[in-house]
Amino acid sequence: MLLAATDLSKRFGGVAAVRRLDFHLDPGEILAIIGPNGAGKTTVLNLLSGVFPADEGRIVLDGTDITRLPAEDRCHLGLGRAFQVVQPFPEMTVRDNLMVGALFGARQRSLAEARKRTEEVLALTGLSGRAAMPARDLTLAGEKRVEMARAIATSPRVLLLDEVMAGLLPQEADEMLAVVRAVRETGVAVLFIEHVMRVVRDLADRVVVMDFGEKIAEGSYRDVTGHPKVIEAYLGTEETGGA
Amino acid sequence: MRWAGPAALVVALLVPLVPAGGYQQYVVQVATFVLINAGVALAWDIQARTGQLSLAPAAFFGLGAYAYTIAALRGVPLPVAFLLGPLVAGAVSLGLGVVTLRLQGLYFAIATLAFAEVVKVIFKELPLDLTGGAVGLTAPPLLGGHQTGLYYLGLCVLLLVVAASLAVRHSRLHYAFTAIRQGELTARVLGVRVVRTKLLAFVLSASLTGLVGAYATSRLFFVIPEDTFGIGLSVTALATAIFGGVYTTAGPVLGAIILRSLEEGLRMVLREGYLAVYGVILMLVILYLPGGLVSLWNRRARDAAGGD
């Protein structure tokens, strides 16, 4: 196991956003977390990446307990995170956005090393042509790509992706799929949250389904989509994809 | 803009040599004030790049000034007393930074403002034979008070601040500072050690401000709490940087040259009320040129990574 969460819980006021959640991620695996809006998926990523601390439970990354570590330490240990609400550094160029991840991520790099890494990731993510553009001038699809590229630039062992396909045209989503697959080929494990079911079907080795903060099913795409609890949670509405 | 820096340096070196008749001394004096203002504004800018609005330059300027004066009056060799300026300011800023840099936005600004006022009051109330109270102290001049020599010393001090500003701009720190300014949480998730980086910027900036403070005192020959720790000094620092162009090296220097010359010119022409005109000009530039003067001839400055 590369990453494991045990008995993970988080409350906001009286609301249990995540309740006693257990899951793990194997090396080189692509795991999807799906579930209806408000199921607690993004909260799970925030707990994993250290945006806020868990109330209970444990998170272990490759044998190291990271439950109480601040976000920057988790990044140094190999957790890369792309946000759902894209947060590019608006006045920096696309290239410099990636530089931040390359310089300070899981590997501390010199300027020269980081520049090299940045060019590699720009090419991998198809952003080379837009490298000199200020991030604020990008389209949503471009911002999503930068968000993911920046996380990849940190050289993570686990890449956490929060709805990086949402709002993209089918062709743009396909390009992102190809990038995620290419990253996995380099030995990176991926944990992603997604509403677009076609993406989940095509990309995930395994799926965890959440509802009201709890895990209600786990298994292959075929297994979980046939699960009665899952069908109930979704009321069949999102089965055909599209979110 | 590659020629601008060397050209400015040549002009700066020539200032005391230009024959200006009866105005010679006055020109060198104004030029010295430009060096001081530029140094404080540029030092302020370095830490502003992390997105933290400090209103404490006056405190660190004053600490540097008093450290030099008190040490020099007690027989410490002048060069050593001079170096105590940046050391004392830096050490105090380290303590203040540890306490306040976790505060966000306005809260940090207000904490630094409060700190500056508290330091001023403390120096007024300390034993008279140490700080001279509200009247202040007479400071021993460096270089025997030789005006031209002191001008060149000021130029060296400013060049040191410029070197620090450029070094930050061309190092990994530039990316860390800019990332923190534009999205602190995102910077953390990307591995930037935010608190440590902000602290580094704060201490570097304060030390340089303390150095300029020590220099200014060795040139002005006195320290007075109301002036040396005055809020006006902090406001001038940030107004100068914003006027010239924040997050750049050229901006604060250019801002100091123009604002200080403008101030002197207006004072000669208008006598009373020159500050009103000065204020209006400042407001117009800030309103219509948010990137400052440098954005005029370097539009790319605002598009490139967080200011070029």
Helix (H) / strand (E) containing A147 = helix A140-153
Give the residue from chain A lying closest to B190, CA to CA.
A101
| Range with the poorest average pLDDT among A180-189, A233-242, B30-39, B150-159 | A233-242
HSE of B125, CA atoms in CB hemisphere, 13 A:
6
Residues near B51 by beta carbon (within 8 Å), at least 6 away in sequence: B180, B181, B182, B184
pLDDT of residue A86: 87
Report yes or no on A194 lying in a domain.
yes
Please say whether the beta carbons of B44 and B256 come within 8 A: no
Give the count of domains, chain A: 1
What range does the domain containing A205 cover? 3-234
Is the CB of A87 less than 8 angstroms away from the CB of B172? no
Residues of B with CB under 8 A from a CB of A: 171-172, 175-176, 178-179, 182-183, 185-194, 302-307
Is the CB of B190 less than 8 angstroms away from the CB of A75? yes
Report yes or no on A107 lying in a domain.
yes
The CATH number of the domain where A225 resides is what?
Answer: 3.40.50.300
The stretches of B76-220 forming alpha helices (DSSP H) are: 78-100, 105-125, 128-131, 147-169, 172-182, 184-189, 194-220
Report yes or no on B296 lying in a domain.
no
Give the closest of A104, A106, A151 to B176, CB-based: A104
Give the count of domains, chain B: 1
Give the closest of B171, B192, B303 to A72, CB-based: B192
Residues A4-19 have pLDDT tens digits of 999 999 999 888 999 9
How high is the ipTM of this complex? 0.90
Which tokens hold the place of B148? 């031209």
What global pTM score does this model have?
Answer: 0.91
CA–CA separation, A243 vs A223, rounded Å? 21
Phi-psi region at B188: left, alpha or beta (left = phi > 0; alpha = psi -120 to 50) = alpha
Report yes or no on A146 lying in a domain.
yes
Tokens 């502003």 map to which residue?
B48
Report yes or no on A206 lying in a domain.
yes
Report yes or no on A240 lying in a domain.
no
Report yes or no on B32 lying in a domain.
yes
At A236, the pLDDT band (50, 70, 90 cuts) reads: low
Residue B308: alpha-carbon gap to chain centroid = 20
- Contact list in B for residue A121 (CB cut-off 8 A) is none
CB contact A51 to B (< 8 Å): yes
Q: B297 to chain A nearest CA, in Å? A: 19
What range does the domain containing B48 cover? 25-230
- CA dihedral (A89, A94, A95, A99) positive or negative: positive
| pLDDT tens, chain B, 308 aa long | 578 888 899 999 988 888 878 888 899 999 999 999 999 999 999 999 999 999 999 999 999 999 999 999 999 999 999 999 999 999 999 999 999 998 988 999 999 999 999 999 999 999 888 888 888 899 999 988 899 999 999 999 999 999 999 999 999 999 999 999 999 999 999 999 999 999 999 999 999 999 999 999 998 888 999 889 998 899 999 999 999 999 999 999 999 999 998 888 888 888 777 778 888 888 888 888 888 888 887 665 445 444 43
Helix (H) / strand (E) containing B259 = helix B250-270
CA–CA separation, B76 vs B91, rounded Å? 19
At A243, the pLDDT band (50, 70, 90 cuts) reads: very low
Report yes or no on A241 lying in a domain.
no
pLDDT of residue B307: 41
Residues A31-72 have pLDDT tens digits of 999 999 889 999 999 999 999 999 999 999 999 999 999 999
Cα three-residue angle A135-A180-A210, rounded to 5 degrees: 100
Residues near B86 by beta carbon (within 8 Å), at least 6 away in sequence: B64, B207, B208, B210, B211, B214
Please say whether the beta carbons of B63 and B209 come within 8 A: no
Is the CB of A103 less than 8 angstroms away from the CB of B175? yes
Report yes or no on B136 lying in a domain.
yes
- Contact list in B for residue A81 (CB cut-off 8 A) is 189
Tokens 């075929």 map to which residue?
A222
Report yes or no on A26 lying in a domain.
yes
